[in-house]
């Protein structure tokens, strides 16, 4: 079966970092570095308060949010709706990051509702899945991730599933400095593609972008990004410095 040629996606997840003025300074440095970059979509997933500042210069990169509520509007103090994000020019939304699953009690059900709401409003979800060190040690990582994918994609058509971006983020490698070996990362990303194939078939599986999200940096990015089932990265700490971030982008664009 021929393999679909997928472009790369490098998405920075700033988490709770940078003010609007710091965002403008970052983009002022990054923007000229992106000149001539081809074959790689760059996304900056910034805190809510930074979205207007990031959107001012969007063009060579897309703006992403780190979360949203699945309801259209209502009595949800402190929450942000999909319509609010699209009105600001947001194109991507991170859904189900392990930190939100852990700290905000997000469930597979709420993750699924958010993914549907993201698509209904013309944006692209970046679904995060991944296992803990304990689950990996117990040998249940594959089963656990398979369940996360099946629940998250519930109700999606083949067309929407093919537009989904899935980020494999081994929880044990987030913010710890640990990184899965290129082989381990490739094996898990291939597993994720196989799960999508089981649910939707070859065409959808081959069009789905799968990112690696476990402490990718300028040093390990070249090896990770040559893996056939790794279509880019969801970058944490290394996305906060323009010079560090552009190294990963250039590795993806090669």
pLDDT at 120 over 90: yes
Largest CA-CA distance found in the chain, in angstroms, rounded: 50
Q: In this predicted structure, which of 30-34, 41-45, 175-179 has the lowest mean pLDDT?
A: 175-179
On whether residue 32 sits in a domain, the answer given is: yes
Q: Per residue in 219-235, pLDDT tens? A: 999 999 999 999 999 99
Contact 158, 205 (CB under 8 A): no
Q: Residue 122: which pLDDT band, with cuts at 50, 70 and 90?
A: very high
Count of domains observed in the chain: 1
pLDDT > 90? residue 133: no
CB–CB of 43/13 below 8 Å? no
Domain of residue 228, CATH code? 3.20.20.70
Return the pLDDT at 98: 93
**209 among known catalytic residues:** no
Q: Which two tokens stand for residue 252?
A: 């993806």
pLDDT at 151: 97
Residue 224 lies in a domain: yes
DSSP assignment of 139-179 equals: T-HHHHHHHHHHHHTTT--HHHHHH-EEEE--GGGSSSS--
Beta strands in the chain (DSSP E): 8-13, 40-45, 62-65, 92-95, 124-129, 165-168, 209-212, 232-235
Mean pLDDT of 77-87: 98
| pLDDT at residue number 2 | 41
pLDDT reading at 204 higher than 90: yes
The CB-based long-range contact list for 171-176 (8 Å cut-off, 24+ gap) reads: 171/98, 171/130, 171/131, 171/132, 171/133, 172/131, 172/132, 172/133, 172/136, 172/214, 173/214, 173/215, 174/98, 174/99, 174/130, 174/213, 174/214, 174/215, 174/236, 175/215, 175/236, 175/237, 176/215
Q: Which of 69, 91, 97, 99 is catalytic?
A: 97
Domain assignment present for 253: no
Question: What pLDDT, in 10s, does the model give residues 35-68?
Answer: 999 999 999 999 999 999 999 999 999 999 999 9
Mean pLDDT (the chain, rounded): 94
% of the chain beyond a pLDDT of 70: 96
Instruction: Based on the residue annotation, tell me whether 143 is a catalytic residue of this protein.
Output: no
Q: Residue 224 corresponds to which tokens in the numbers above?
A: 């990770």
Determine the Cα–Cα distance for residues 122 and 62; give it in Å rounded to an integer. Answer: 14
Asked if residue 73 belongs to a domain, the reply is no
Q: Using the structure block, give the residue that is written with the tokens 């959808």.
A: 204
Structural domain includes residue 57 = yes
- Asked whether the predicted pLDDT for residue 149 surpasses 90, the reply is yes
User: Which of 91, 106, 131, 169 is an active site residue?
Assistant: 169
In a domain, 3, yes or no: no
- Residue 142 in any domain: the answer is yes
**Mean local confidence (pLDDT), 125-140:** 93
Domain range spanning residue 29?
A: 8-68+80-248
Taking the C-alpha atoms of 130, 210, 182 and 227 in order, what is their torsion angle to the nearest 10 degrees? Answer: 160
Residue 213 belongs to a domain: yes
d(CA 208, CA 125): 12
Section 119-143 average pLDDT: 94
Number of H helices, E strands in the chain: 12, 8
Residues 6+ away with beta carbon under 8 Å from 104: none
């Amino acid at each position: 079966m021929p393999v679909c040629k997928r472009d790369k996606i490098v998405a920075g997840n700033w988490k709770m970092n940078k003010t609007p003025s710091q965002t403008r300074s970052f983009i002022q440095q990054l923007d000229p570095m992106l000149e001539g970059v081809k074959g790689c979509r760059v996304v900056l997933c910034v805190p809510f308060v930074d979205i207007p500042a990031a959107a001012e210069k969007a063009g060579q990169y897309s703006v992403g949010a780190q979360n949203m509520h699945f309801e259209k509007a209502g009595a949800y103090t402190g929450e942000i709706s999909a319509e609010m994000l699209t009105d600001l020019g947001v194109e991507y939304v991170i859904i189900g990051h392990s930190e939100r699953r852990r700290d905000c009690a997000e469930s597979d059900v709420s993750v699924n509702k958010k993914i549907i709401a993201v698509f209904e409003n013309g944006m692209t979800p970046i679904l995060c899945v991944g296992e803990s060190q304990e689950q990996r040690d117990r040998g249940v990582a594959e089963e656990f991730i398979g369940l996360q994918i099946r629940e998250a994609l519930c109700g999606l058509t083949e067309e929407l599933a093919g537009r989904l971006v899935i980020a494999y983020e081994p929880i044990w490698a987030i913010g710890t400095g640990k990184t899965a070996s290129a082989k381990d990362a490739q094996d898990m990303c291939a597993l994720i593609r196989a799960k999508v194939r089981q649910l939707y078939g070859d065409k959808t599986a081959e069009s789905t972008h799968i990112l690696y999200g476990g402490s990718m940096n300028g040093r390990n990015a070249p090896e990770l990004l040559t893996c056939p089932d790794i279509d880019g990265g969801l970058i944490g700490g290394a996305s906060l410095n323009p010079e560090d971030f552009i190294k990963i982008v250039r590795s993806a664009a090669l």
